[in-house]
Each structure stands twice: as structure tokens, then as C-alpha cells.
Amino acid sequence: MIKAKQNHTIDPIDHRREQQVRLKTGEFIRQASRMYQHQFPMIPVLFDLRGRAAGMYKVHNKKRIIRYNPYLFAKYFDDNFTTTVPHEVAHYVVDMLYGCSRVKPHGVEWQQVMLSLGAEPRATGSYDLSGIPIRRQQRHIYQCACTLHRISTVRHNKILRGQANYYCRNCNSALISVDSEK
């Protein structure tokens, strides 16, 4: 684990370093274009990610973006510059070559792209998060026949949309929202 240098709230990455990260992201995309003989278009790079993740490649409504955590980049700039940037570009390249739904997120294809970019194919970072604003998910109270359960907002919303049902592992009865009469 990389240890923190301070124990106060970290300021987000400054504009100069943001530009360095954007340029490095573009360099890796151009490098991948040459290596794979495929023109990968430049995509937006945002510094709006919060929480524990240093970076994220995302496709939403057929729009591709790379998101970086400005706080983790500020605190661990050198490490993120050399590991997170190629990590997210590799996800983008794999998506463009194979499609995200056809391969594992950190599978063989992703590992090969990471190696071709000159980066170690490491799936996750290990950072001391003191001073980093962390997004905490709200938990929702549900009950079964034997106890109360706290479930995540993601699962709660799936239940509300009728996309999922969850059952107790002990009594096998359906989980029902305590707030269901609202």
C-alpha cells in the first residue's frame, strides 16, 4: 500500500497536471493506434470521479469517456500517471477492438494491451485514502422472515424497477422494503 504524506484533506489536481494527464492519455491512444494499426479517436477525459477508484473508462449512450479521480491523482500523481492512465486507455482500446461485452474487464486482451503500452497489467491500485473525499452509498433497510438487511442503493433501485428480487440466505424468504408503504 502506498502511504500518505499528510493527514489533511487533499486538494484536487491542478490545471497544469490535468493537462499533463490529458496529453499522456492522448499519447497512449496514438501509441495504441500505431501498434494495432487501427485509428482510435481521441475521447473526452474528465476529472470528475470520486471515491476509491483512480480512473474509469465508461461508455454511455455510445459515447466513450475516461474519468479520473482528481483527488487520488493529486495525492499520488506519479503512480497514477504511470499506471492509471495506461490502465484506462487499455480498457478503451479493448472495447474498440473486441467490444466490452465480449471480454473480461481485466482479461487476457486487456493484459496484452497493457503490456504493449509498456505498463504492468495490474487490475487495482492500493492507496491510503486518508484526506480523500470518499463517496459512501446509502443503505436501505429491508426485512425478511428472520431479520433486517441493509442493501445498497443499486440493489434497491433494481427492486424498484422490477429488475431484481433478493432473498435472505438464511430463511430464503423475499426481502421486503421497510419503507414499502411510502
What is the DSSP code (8-state) at residue 101?
G
CA dihedral 12, 123, 62, 117 (to 10 degrees): 90
CA dist., res. 39 & res. 41, Å (int)? 6
Handedness of CA 45, 49, 55, 58 (dihedral sign): negative
Select which of 27, 88, 109, 181 is catalytic. Answer: 88
Cβ pair 177, 159 in contact under 8 A: yes
Q: CA-CA distances (angstroms) from residue 23 to 18, 139, 154, 173? A: 9, 39, 34, 53
Task: Classify residue 109 by burial, with Cβ atoms within 10 Å: 0-12, 13-18, 19+.
Answer: middle
Q: Look up 88 and say whether it is catalytic.
A: yes
CA angle 19/23/70 to nearest 5° reads: 45
Catalytic annotation, residues = 88
